[in-house]
Amino acid sequence: MERLQKIMAQAGIASRRKCEELIAAGRVKVNGQVITEPGYKADFTRDTIEVDGREIARESHVYYLLNKPAGYITSVTDPQGRKTVLDIMQGIEERIYPVGRLDYDTSGLLLLTNDGELANHIAHPRHEMDKVYEAVVKGMIEEKALQTLRQGVLLEDGMTSPAEALCMNRNKSEGTSVIHLTIHEGRNRQVRRMCEAVGFPVIRLRRLRLAFLTLKGVAEGEYRALTPEEVERLRRV
């Protein structure tokens, strides 16, 4: 017996949190009975589970690493009609969704899966998975600003955790600097806000690495499946 929202997430319906919302809205039936009770348990091998009148079936879990271009939103659908990352993921039959998010104008490494349990594991801040970003910022960044980024920056939603900050290049002719910033949190537009707070606004932003995963061999706008070894390693992080 497992919680209904966990079964639904494992079947690729949506994230566990979204599945909880579907249950609360009365859109889920078990053996013909509408279930709205939080934490209701079912047996997927014996019970018939329906979402919006359609019986769900357990999907095989799939895992993809996408090199997201700028100009796509990290979402399954968009009411404004903008392109989403799923528009890039052609030919995949399973219902996958992004793990975490990258801003519309941010590029780089993004994971997509139908494994709700692993997605929650990756996204949870207590696991402190490294997220490494390359930011092109306006101005010649100073050591004082880098040290502030390392110690934590006070934003409107509180102090950020300590980060790793390295200046990779300063281009005097263009008036820009390139920095690599490693964070463990996942606040909205966090890297952009951190750089803005120390006086060096971001011009371009790209995620280079998540935990041990990198963009090696994956061109912008392309994706690859994770290996079983990579999936297992993610579970252990």
- The domain locations on the chain are 2-55, 63-125+215-236, 130-210
Residue 128 DSSP class: -
In angstroms, the CA 213 to CA 132 distance is 10
Fold classification of 2-55 is 3.10.290
pLDDT of residue 35: 96
- Tens digits of residue pLDDT in 180-190: 999 998 888 99
Domain 63-125+215-236 has CATH 3.30.70.580: yes
Query: In sequence order, what are the beta bridge partners of 155?
Result: 158
CB 159 within 8 A of CB 107: no
Side chain identity at residue 80, one-letter code: Q
Residue 195: helix, strand or coil by DSSP? helix
pLDDT of residue 237: 82
- Tens digits of residue pLDDT in 197-212: 999 999 999 999 999 9
Can 157 be counted among the known catalytic residues? no
pLDDT confidence bin for 33, thresholds 50/70/90: very high
pTM of the predicted structure, to 2 decimals: 0.79
pLDDT of residue 117: 80
pLDDT at 13 over 90: no
In angstroms, the CA 21 to CA 145 distance is 42
Question: Is it true that 63-125+215-236 and 130-210 share their CATH fold?
Answer: yes
Report the chain's mean pLDDT, rounded to a whole number.
92
Residue 220: helix, strand or coil by DSSP? coil
- Decide which of 3.30.465.10, 3.40.1380.20, 3.90.550.10, 3.30.70.1560 is the CATH code for 130-210: 3.30.70.1560
Side chain identity at residue 24, one-letter code: A
pLDDT of residue 196: 97
Active-site pick, 47, 103, 105, 130 = 103
Query: In sequence order, what are the beta bridge partners of 113?
Result: 63, 97
∠ Cα 40 43 45 (to 5°): 155
Token code pair at residue 31 = 């053996």
- Tens digits of residue pLDDT in 153-163: 999 999 999 99
pLDDT at 12 over 80: no
Token code pair at residue 184 = 């463990």
Residue 212: helix, strand or coil by DSSP? coil
pLDDT confidence bin for 106, thresholds 50/70/90: very high
pLDDT at 76 over 90: no
DSSP string, 7-76: HHHHTTSS-HHHHHHHHHTT-EEETTEE---TT-EE-TTT--EEETTEE--PPPP-EEEEEEPTT-BSSS
Once rounded to an integer, what is the mean pLDDT over residues 48-58? 89
